[in-house]
Structure 1
């Protein structure tokens, strides 16, 4: 076990990656001054842009800062977190949502202290349907209350609507782009798709940077295009509850972000009807839970609103 732990930890010990991840965490904390950011979607415009490397290194930076963090595999069609973390649970999201396994059994500690992992089973049918359910929204709120941070690794925005759906349920979204590969037009299109879903885009994370003037592989930018480099905050020690990281209940808990908007735990933001279909009550895998993004159909857009 010790050798395996050292092997996993070695993947996060590259000094530039480590420094970049700490800087990214500091910027997320800086963005949390007015509105707390605890649940984060990490997505990209297209494949092979490094979003999973960003999500795992960010999770490691949070864990080493003494915070309890959960990373969730929500790229259900192309799962990779389990292999990267060398954790292979027997149950995951589907089992927890369907009730065939408890959430505490599905969430496992990793080889990194304070870092936990919730996997997704292989061959889950209709991932977008599952993400659109009230039960999944309640799960997101419960995880938010149980961890200091929760990171969702999602599919690329341009390929599937999963990231847009999840972005409507979390506190903030990071859009990963690859230098000298990702087209600006595609980034703009994906950002617009996220805004239609009422996502709070925290900023973009640039990967595979070749700029000689930069000492980081990642560069972080705010929504107005300004680059932010702020020293990491002093970490606060948090006890790690390895036995029962989550006290799971079927009833949903309202997050502060939803509470401020008057929404219930499992109620999507106004405008999510544009990208989500009606959810059949009581059935987390209803076949009609996702209707809007079907071939030949157009998704209406709602007007952007000022956040409270």
Structure 2
């Protein structure tokens, strides 16, 4: 699938809404990635919304050459094709800088010179910069989050979520000391810029959502609806990205993995049992999909019958 260069995104979502899937180019798509992509596509289609793909390429040291092209080809093999231009976060430096400059000017963000050792001394929850400017060291930029900053939101799958962001998380990094943009800032800026109204992703990112809501409010940006899909784990209960089970899915034979992802979302296996090709599977899935059946807990990979590439 060719990668299209995105123009400057618009903040105006379509009247019917817009969902998204945002992979990082750190390797091939594994089954947990497919579940996030398929689940976000299904929930978008169920709501009559568009579904867009965004590339979260903010961390060059972790990226694999050619990974995003392979990911996009895999998505295409599974019939999951973006409805809009594919945005690469690596092209968004100016937008992130504008947001950061605003937060700094308003006193909502500040330079932080703390080292990892400094943070360990505070239990890794940052509430105040313990170090001043240090020669040879570049500061990180953090979002100022006071103790007692309690954020709550209703997740479509996980239910009501409430977190004291100030006490439990502390001041969030917006730009790292190595100069790279932090995920928390980029995702908030880009969701607003692209008019995303529905964020569907894995439950491993559930804990990040309250701090993103706090940042949305600090920047005066809208808060989309959230749904966090069950996390797929290996036989030892480890997230797939940290497991040897994180092998690439077989895009030469997509139907077994699609059926496995369908089952992992608690859907009726019979709905996809007789389909002969990917377009028929997606049509059947759209017709039979019941969002309320999606489980909130983790799903074991060995219970899905997933097919992975050799």
Same fold (TM over 0.5): no
Q: Indicate the structure with greater helix content.
A: 2
Whichever of the two has the greater Rg, that structure is 2
Please give the TM-score of this superposition, normalised by the length of structure 2.
Answer: 0.30
